[in-house]
């Protein structure tokens, strides 16, 4: 039996006492945890020590590289197109990947978007797309590369071989109260994205009530950390810091978010979804060397829609098929005249989850028809009796707990009480 070069308890003590781990220690720790030598309870102690005491800049870099080295990496060198990717830290109503990937690909750039499923109040891109009859999240490597070459955009499930250490660590963080830790968030996201092999990456880092990090300063710190990690690995990386205090768009759920995405691709859709889609597309295209692209024009003239239809069809989906519709609805109306001055994102995400749009455990199914459709956004005038939002679910008994989550989540007041805030709060490059 081989003698291990380090003792995990010594490493835990080092982080507990605010010390720094060396490159060799971090490489050994991640390798030993991946192969099962370091136990979950020991890694739980380590993640809590990191949560409480942080990591130095070099430690975060070493942790990211060690997680990449724990598994396979991908390469797009054989493609005839440049690659560019996007990652969002997640939020309520965030369906941006759906219109964004085909929009960028319609300019001759390859967008390899390996996505995941939702857990808790944050929706998963794959869950949304599986609302489309016939669409497949899992495709072979051969299909993946062929679709990138022929269509330009792929949104699919990531294989288990990419950064497997992150998969183990992510599950552990979820049950140990260490999710909201910048070194662990940054290394988790960037290990997977760098392992995916894209040449350029645009990050949508969210802050606010519906985001992992509510404080804008913490969001900026995370964005700066991830941009630097990307550049360390030779990946051109830019981040936009975006506001998630209010739900994004008017649809929260799965099938209804697909409908809203198709509206955007048809040249319509809510202004905030269009604004963020266009901003991210411009960043992705610039990094891929496509300058001064008429992004808005591609949404209005059908160029992006054609790529969407080809992308969905290539994975077995029917872009013309009817999407699921819930059996039951419940409309909430305004009780007074006035202006909608508050609409907090997190309670709406939790309510959609309780309606069946999300899952509490990874193995749970989702109801693709469940969700919430907003009829009014903050700053808009309403009259008593006017619909504010509609809840949708297959079982009417779900409405009670969803409405409980929404108590105090919105407020109608005077126009002077409303404070508008920019959707895009900053850019880090």
Residue numbers annotated as active site: 87, 166, 173, 188, 192
Could you give the angle at the alpha carbon of 149 between the alpha carbons of 147 and 153, nearest 5°?
Answer: 55
Rounded distance between C-alpha atoms, residue 47 and residue 178, angstroms: 7
Q: What are the structure tokens assigned to 100, written together?
A: 């964004």
What are the angstrom distances between the C-alpha of 333 and each of 229, 339, 377, 385, 397?
A: 47, 13, 13, 5, 19
CB atoms within 10 A of CB 322: 9
Residues 148, 110 contacting (CB under 8 angstroms): yes
CA angle, residues 362, 68, 160, in degrees to nearest 5: 35
What stretch of H or E contains 253? strand 251-253
* Helices (H), ranges, 76-136: 97-105, 125-129
Euclidean distance between CA atoms 86 and 201, whole angstroms: 6
Residues 269, 250: Cα–Cα separation, whole Å: 9
Beta strands in 26-119 (DSSP E): 85-88, 111-115
DSSP-assigned letter for residue 243: E
Inter-CA distances, 339 with 140, 332, 342, 347, 388, Å: 51, 16, 9, 20, 11
Phi-psi domain of 139 (left: phi exceeds 0; alpha: psi -120 through 50; beta: other): beta
């Amino acid at each position: 039996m081989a003698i291990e070069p380090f003792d995990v308890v010594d490493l835990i003590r080092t982080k507990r006492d605010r010390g720094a781990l060396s490159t060799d220690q971090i490489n050994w720790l991640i390798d030993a945890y991946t192969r099962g030598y370091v136990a979950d309870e020991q890694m739980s102690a380590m993640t809590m020590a990191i949560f409480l005491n942080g990591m130095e800049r070099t430690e975060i870099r070493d942790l990211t590289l060690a997680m990449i080295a724990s598994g396979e990496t991908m390469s797009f060198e054989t493609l005839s197109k440049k690659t560019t990717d996007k990652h969002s830290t997640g939020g309520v109503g965030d369906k941006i990947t759906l219109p964004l990937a085909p929009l960028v690909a319609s300019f001759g750039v390859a967008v390899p978007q390996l996505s995941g499923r939702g857990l808790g109040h944050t929706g998963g891109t794959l869950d949304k797309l599986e609302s489309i009859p016939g669409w497949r999240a899992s495709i072979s490597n051969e299909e993946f590369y062929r679709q990138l070459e022929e269509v330009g955009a792929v949104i699919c499930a990531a294989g288990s071989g990419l950064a497997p250490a992150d998969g183990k660590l992510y599950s552990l963080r979820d049950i140990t109260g260490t999710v909201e830790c910048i070194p662990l968030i940054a290394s988790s996201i960037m290990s997977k994205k760098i392992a995916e092999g894209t040449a350029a990456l645009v990050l949508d880092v969210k802050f606010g009530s519906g985001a992992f990090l509510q404080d804008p300063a913490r969001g900026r710190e995370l964005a700066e950390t991830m941009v630097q990690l990307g550049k360390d690995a030779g990946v051109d990386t830019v981040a936009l810091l975006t506001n998630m205090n209010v739900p994004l768009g008017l649809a929260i759920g799965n099938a209804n978010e697909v409908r809203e995405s198709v509206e955007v691709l048809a040249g319509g859709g809510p202004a905030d979804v269009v604004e963020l889609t266009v901003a991210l597309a411009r960043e992705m295209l610039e990094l891929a060397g496509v300058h001064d692209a008429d992004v808005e024009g591609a949404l209005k003239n059908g160029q992006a829609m054609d790529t969407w239809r080809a992308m969905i069809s290539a994975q077995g989906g029917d872009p013309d098929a009817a999407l699921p519709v819930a059996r039951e609805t419940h409309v909430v109306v305004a009780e007074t005249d006035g202006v909608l001055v508050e609409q907090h994102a997190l309670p709406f995400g939790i309510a959609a989850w309780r309606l069946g749009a999300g899952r509490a455990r990874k193995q749970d199914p989702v109801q693709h028809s469940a969700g919430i459709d907003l009829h009014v956004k903050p700053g808009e005038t309403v009259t008593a009796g006017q619909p504010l939002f509609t809840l949708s679910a297959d079982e009417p008994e779900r409405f009670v707990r969803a409405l409980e989550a929404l108590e105090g989540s919105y407020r109608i007041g005077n126009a002077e009480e409303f404070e508008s805030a920019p959707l895009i709060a900053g850019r880090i490059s």
